[in-house]
Structure 1
Amino acid sequence: MGVPSTQASNAIIYLTYGAFLVVGCYIAWRLRHQSKTEWLSSNKSQKGIPLALNFIASGECIRATLHA
Structure 2
Amino acid sequence: MGQPSFEASNAIIYLTYGAFLVLGTAIAWKLRSQVKTDFLSSNGTQTAWPLALNFIASGE
**Residue by residue, what CA displacement relative to the aligned partner does 1:21-65 show, whole Å, maximum 9, x if unpaired?**
000000000000011121122288568xx4xx48x85xxxxxxxx
- Of structures 1 and 2, the one with the larger relative CO (CA 8 A, separation 6+) is 1
% identical aligned pairs: 65
Letter of the 1:7 partner, please give it: E
Number of residue pairs the alignment of both structures matches: 52
Structure 2 unaligned blocks of 5 or more: 56-60
**Normalised TM-score (structure 1):** 0.60
Query: In terms of Rg, which structure is larger?
Result: 2
**Normalised TM-score (structure 2):** 0.67
Alignment CA distance shift 1:21-1:43 (3 Å): closer
Could you list the runs of 4 or more consecutive aligned residues of structure 1 that deviate by over 6 angstroms after TM superposition?
none
